[in-house]
Amino acid sequence: MPDQRISAQPDPTVDPALRSWVEVPLDSGFPIQNLPYGVFRRPGEMSRPGVAIGDQVVDLAGVAGLGLLDDDLDARELLVHPSLDALLAAGRPTWTALRRALSRLLRADTADLRDHPRRGELLIPQSEVQMLLPFVVSDHADFYGSIEHATTMGRLYRPGDHDPLLPQFRHLPIGGHRRARGVVVSDTPIARPSGLRRAADGAAPVYGACEQLDFEVELAFVTGGANPPGQPIPIESAGEHIFGFVVLNDWSARDIQRYEAMPFGPFASKFMATVSPWVVTTEALGPWRVPGPSQDPPVAEYLRCREPWNLHVTLETRLQTRARRERGLPPAVVASTTTERLYWSAAQALAHLTVTGGPMAPGGVYGLGTVSGWQPEEKGCLVERTLNGAEPLTLDDGEQRTFLRDGDEVSIHGWADGPGYRLSFGAARGAIAAAHDPQRGRQHALSRTR
Ligand code: MN
């Protein structure tokens, strides 16, 4: 049995008894125990880092500029920036010190900001700000950590196989590289992609707008610090590099994917991924860390983890359609699933990502893979839910979907409940816009190559 102890020192920033002088509604999801990091902008102003508390954002550049954080933190160096890049590069000791300083500053019994004459400028209603991608995404990969998802996909895509799970599934976290520039923040429109898909047997493939556009419900970890080339990150050091987590929608063009994916994995079909604007820190998630499922056969030494690194997070997916919007109906809940049963944890994914000595820079976004359960309502993508379009999903207003239509808006909401409070990730939301005219795109490309 692995030793499943949690670190001995209790973390004062997640004490359920903590209260802030900022008013936090009970159902807010942003109590003082959360303090997720993001980057915001008000119209006409520069973008800058903030933490969410209640329905407000604390302007971290402003707070650091006034010297309200501990001197030994170099808070100006870290926070007077248009992004979180400097903070991500700084590493674990700085992250822990900053979080403790912010928790102390916002605590009910700390007067420094509470009674400061400029407090009104430094606390901004979330409703007045636009959220931006909070850091330069240096790298993006996606894993395949859900045994339920991998099994269903194996049955759908390799129906002749005796075992729908590939033999290596239980030996290592299977992953694939994606494009860093494809990671966008919530509320960025998603244009329907075009590409090649298989035609009838023997016929040439067809180029056109994707007809099987899908979502994938995921949690992703955000990395900081770096490892030099040739030096793997040992699994027991994962906490030094995992800054926090975001909700991620890994948009997937299934018809394009099916034609291109063998033998090298999905490529153009994985074109964009939408992330929630708030990065919930590893410390804030401490109370929700749980041991993962037992792994049989036993995994290689470099993947053996003594600390619990699975998370008990709920991911709820809502679909808003044009018809529902026109009739004044709220979005329909189309999937609800939790992440604690993922076969491979974030720590194992990071250890595997670097086991060969491949370097990692601050600002990596690594998806843990589509989170699915065995029940239909736990399926984290439409291809699984509808068995590749064979069984349409019927919404509560009678509308049906096999895959996404133009005008559909998908929002994935993440949260964790208890002890005594809710911790929210916000949502990863994106609406599908019509494809760029494939014919015009082709002619444009041809005219440029002539
Ligand atoms: Mn994925």
pLDDT interval class at 6 (50, 70, 90): very low
Please give the distance, rounded to the nearest whole angstrom, from the Cα atom of residue 79 to the centre of ligand 1. Answer: 32
Rg of the chain (C-alpha set): 22
Please give the distance, rounded to the nearest whole angstrom, from the Cα atom of residue 183 to the centre of ligand 1. Answer: 12
pLDDT digits (tens, 9 = 90+) for 305-323: 999 999 999 999 999 999 9
Q: Taking residues 102-110, report their average pLDDT.
A: 97
Please give the distance, rounded to the nearest whole angstrom, from the Cα atom of residue 219 to the centre of ligand 1. Answer: 10
Q: Is the pTM of this model over 0.85?
A: yes
Q: Nearest-CA neighbor of 429 among 348, 337, 287, 319?
A: 319
| Candidate list 149, 241, 352, 413, residue with the active-site label | 149
436 is catalytic: no
Distance in angstroms (rounded) separating the CA atoms of residues 277 and 428:
7
Q: Nearest-CA neighbor of 310 among 339, 284, 280?
A: 339
CA angle 349, 354, 355 (to 5 degrees): 95
Two structure tokens written together for 287: 């109370």
Please give the distance, rounded to the nearest whole angstrom, from the Cα atom of residue 221 to the centre of ligand 1. Answer: 13
pLDDT score, position 289: 97
pLDDT score, position 10: 84
Q: Taking residues 271-291, report their average pLDDT.
A: 98
Beta bridge pairs of residue 364: 139
pLDDT at 207 > cutoff 50 = yes
- Ion ligand 1: residues, CB within 5 A, are 142, 216, 250
Q: Strands 37-41 and 48-53, how do they pair? A: antiparallel
Q: Taking residues 252-281, report their average pLDDT.
A: 96
pLDDT interval class at 71 (50, 70, 90): low
What are the angstrom distances between the C-alpha of 446 and each of 69, 206, 209, 307, 443?
A: 57, 17, 18, 55, 5
In the predicted model, what is the mean pLDDT of the chain?
A: 94
pLDDT digits (tens, 9 = 90+) for 334-382: 999 999 999 999 999 999 999 999 999 999 999 999 999 999 999 999 9
Distance in angstroms (rounded) separating the CA atoms of residues 270 and 273:
8
Q: Taking residues 222-231, report their average pLDDT.
A: 95
pLDDT interval class at 447 (50, 70, 90): very low
pLDDT digits (tens, 9 = 90+) for 247-264: 999 999 999 999 999 889
Please give the distance, rounded to the nearest whole angstrom, from the Cα atom of residue 350 to the centre of ligand 1. Answer: 16
